[in-house]
Amino acid sequence: METLESHFHLWYGVIFFILLYGIAILFVPFYKKMDRKPATAYMAFVIAFAIEMHGIPMSMYFISWLIGKRLPEGVLWGHTLVNQIGYLGMYLNIALSISGIMIIANGWYNIYHKYWAKEAGKGKVVKTGIYKYIRHPQYTGFMMITLGMLLEWATLPMLLMWPFIVWLYNRLARKEEKDMIEEFGEEYLSYMERTKRFIPFVI
């Protein structure tokens, strides 16, 4: 019979999840050194998720040591709030992960055939596919994927890291927009007026 404890010390599961979620990084180019920081933070989040879920529940051990008693399942270890919402967090994670990967892939496909062709003298503002609605779909996808992990298996490191990841991607998005304005001028400013940064029609 499967128990919560049977989730742990499954190191093949740790490796599987790191590789599975790490695939998304392949859809992001790194033209500048600063671009690597959000990707590094994303992978640190993935590793924390994989280890806490299938390796060692470090948050549970640490909090238990700190307060002198074991927290109930779903509070900083185990399926998030499982006693209140059941396995809803797991289903939300699946939905957000699939949607996030699809958004990342769509963004990669469109920008690869438009903007990245600038080395051949064909670079232009990308306005097709998901770029009709948001300017940074890959960053949106990464935030969706990490939010899904948090909803399924929230732990102390993940709760601390997620706001930092959002801040990093927002910072990088602003920097890229500044570069695009310098490169394309009024065309990109006009594009910015018609689109949102991360969430269509919202922000």
Provide the residue-wise pLDDT of the chain in tens; the chain has 203 residues.
445 566 677 888 889 989 988 887 776 665 554 466 778 889 999 999 889 888 888 887 888 888 888 878 878 878 888 888 889 999 999 999 999 999 998 988 888 776 655 555 556 888 889 999 999 999 999 999 999 999 999 988 899 999 999 999 999 999 989 989 998 899 999 999 999 999 999 98
199 in a structural domain: no
Residue 202 resides in a domain:
no
CA distances from 77 to 3, 12, 54, 70, 72 (A): 14, 20, 11, 10, 8
**pLDDT attached to residue 1:** 42
Domain containing residue 185: 4-194
- Helix (H) or strand (E) holding 61, with range, is helix 58-67
Is residue 103 domain-resident? yes
What tokens were used for 179?
């570069």
Q: Would 201 be classed as within a structural domain?
A: no
Phi/psi-derived region of residue 201, left when phi > 0, alpha when psi is between -120 and 50, beta in every other case = left
Is 50 inside any structural domain? yes
- How many domains does the chain divide into? 1
Residue 203 in domain:
no
User: In this structure, is residue 200 part of a structural domain?
Assistant: no
Query: Tell me, what's the pLDDT at 75?
Result: 80
Instruction: Quote the CA–CA distance of 145 and 94 in Å, as a whole number.
Output: 9
Residue 117, pLDDT score:
55
